Amino acid sequence: MSLRGKIKIHEITHTGMVREHNEDAIGSDSDIGLLVLADGMGGYNAGEVASGIAVQTVTELATEGANREERQDRDPTTGLLRQTIVLRDAIARANKIIYQTAQSQTHCEGMGTTLVAAMFYDDKISIAHVGDSRAYRLRDNKFEQITLDHSLLQELVDRGFYSQEEAQRSTNRNYVTRALGVEPTVEVEVNEYDVLPGDVYLLCSDGLSDMVEDEDIHLTISTFNDSLDVVGQQLVQLANDHGGRDNISIMMAQIVDAFPVKRGLLERISDMFRS
């Protein structure tokens, strides 16, 4: 089932005011409601190699997997939707390719990338992430971060050494504890959420979240939500006005209409027993 017309998608990426080139990469597929954003790092121009491999690999494998798993089904072991597993496994594959490339190509040594990806299916969103690229949700004027950074600072918050407010002001926000391509395998965090018409989902690299407070991101989306294009431009401008110290990448999805999967009789009976 194509999701065109059900979800509005907009994406924008900008080099920022300090970096000479853009090491972020973004990609989407409106038909299956897929968004992928990666923030590369390490080596001369190698960050953009890592992020490019990540986005290309995840987009290709997730698209293939989504078409193959065109049904409402949950894995009996994990309880996750098949689409969530497709997304997780695509990211794990991307990690392997990036790691092998970094090991075999001298100019790519030490490269890696953070990543956040989302896929919509059956009035739900699957979100997978590694590192500190983030996902946010705006619903009924409530704006909240729905991923937790894989970073040293977040670990200190979790252990009570910092409050969330103190973490917002910290200058040590970029020490990630998890990234693609650094090790042969990586733990991909996945979560599933119900989706409602009117929701706005935002994926971003830390070039936005480090430069612009959550309250200002919320205000910008609420003020210009009639046009995701304008929202993206305004957020990039805010990040650059505040210094633009990193590349800035933003992807947004606005839910226009519900997109439930049509079920046959046997599936409806199975759902009744699960509920």
What end-to-end distance do the CA atoms of the chain give, in Å?
24
pLDDT for residue 192 is more than 60: yes
Quickly count: other Cβ atoms within 10 Å of residue 183's Cβ: 12
**In the numeric block, which tokens belong to residue 166?**
């103190």
CA–CA gap between residue 108 and residue 90 (Å, rounded): 21
**In the numeric block, which tokens belong to residue 223?**
């003020």
pLDDT digits (tens, 9 = 90+) for 108-132: 999 999 999 999 999 999 999 999 9
pLDDT-derived band at 168 (thresholds 50, 70, 90) equals low
pLDDT digits (tens, 9 = 90+) for 139-150: 999 999 999 999
Percentage of the chain beyond pLDDT 90 is 74
The mean pLDDT of 148-169, rounded to a whole number, is: 71
Note the pTM of the prediction, 2 decimals: 0.90
CATH class, domain 7-148+179-274, is alpha beta
pLDDT-derived band at 209 (thresholds 50, 70, 90) equals very high
pLDDT digits (tens, 9 = 90+) for 35-47: 999 999 975 569 9
| DSSP conformation letters of 95-154 | HHHHHHHHHH-GGGTT-EEEEEEEEEETTEEEEEEESS-EEEEEETTEEEE-S---BHHH
